Amino acid sequence: MSKKFTGVWVPKAIYLDQRLTPTDKLILADIASLCLESGEYFKSNETIANEVNVSIPSVSRSIKKLTQLKLITTHYDGRTRLIKMIRALIKLIKQTNQNDKGTNQNDKAALSKRLDSIHSSIHTREQIRNKVVLPFDSKEFKSAWSMWVDERKQKKIKKYTQRGEQGALKRLAAESNHNETIAIEMINNAIARGWQGIYPIKNDKRNNTQREPISKERALKWASSSQ
């Protein structure tokens, strides 16, 4: 059963932020209020516009501005846009709340506990999101990949971003046909040859190609022409 709407509380840190317009403050306060309850804000721009009594373009501008100010972050779960408070905003609200002598101590403690919970949740999700997943779990592969990353560092090649490193690992797995032995051999080959990237190992066609048998007639013809 949904809770009865009783209003929107505007935190002091948001109310006094001189960078924000009244519309920005009201939208951000609504985001903060719902995030404190459920951790995420799911309202569409149309819903926000109807509730705040402004145009949809005005809502879009406010959301974009709040994102650029690094107060919120947005992402999509299927077709639903979700908004979350950024840690800097949580910290600011918490700090302002603790410094406000007019606030009831129990209310302070409850809000502080909830903000800490959201902060911890955001930190955990960021750690999971920023972790590089290796295609193989063996010590041998981990060692080989670590050597490759160190080799790039020593050659002063631009450091991988998290997304770039994950992409390189995905390509390595695909080009090795998800064969760990081949993947490690590709890494070692790239290091030995001083390459800046890891490439598939090509078979030596000279060793794998069989010569076409020469017929007796062709042999006699070749012998007579060489005299």
Question: Which residue among 104, 130, 156 closes a domain?
Answer: 130
Quick one: CA dihedral 142, 148, 154, 158, positive or negative?
Answer: negative
Both 102 and 26 in a single domain? yes
- The answer to whether residue 4 is domain-embedded is no
- The answer to whether residue 44 is domain-embedded is yes
pLDDT tens, 163-189? 888 889 988 998 998 899 999 999 999
> What separation in angstroms does the CA of 124 have from each of 87, 118, 130, 201?
12, 10, 10, 39
pLDDT tens, 56-104? 999 999 999 999 998 888 888 777 888 887 766 766 666 655 555 555 5
- The answer to whether residue 83 is domain-embedded is yes
| φ and ψ at residue 148, rounded to 5 degrees | -65, -45
Both 28 and 97 in a single domain? yes
As a whole number of angstroms, the distance between CA 10 and CA 33 comes to 8
Q: State which residues form the domain around 116.
A: 12-130
As a whole number of angstroms, the distance between CA 173 and CA 165 comes to 12
Both 196 and 120 in a single domain? no
Residue 120 banded pLDDT, cuts 50, 70, 90: low
- The answer to whether residue 46 is domain-embedded is yes
Both 201 and 103 in a single domain? no
- The answer to whether residue 221 is domain-embedded is no
CATH number of the CATH domain containing 105: 1.10.10.10
Q: What pTM did the predictor assign?
A: 0.43
- The answer to whether residue 165 is domain-embedded is yes
* pLDDT greater at residue 49 or residue 131: 49
pLDDT tens, 7-47? 778 888 888 889 999 999 999 988 888 877 767 888 899 99
For residue 167, the model assigns a pLDDT of: 87
Domains: count for the chain: 2
Does the pLDDT at position 204 exceed 50? no
Reading the block at residue 126, the tokens are: 């960021």
Both 30 and 103 in a single domain? yes
For residue 122, the model assigns a pLDDT of: 47
Reading the block at residue 128, the tokens are: 């999971």
76 strand-pairing partners: 81
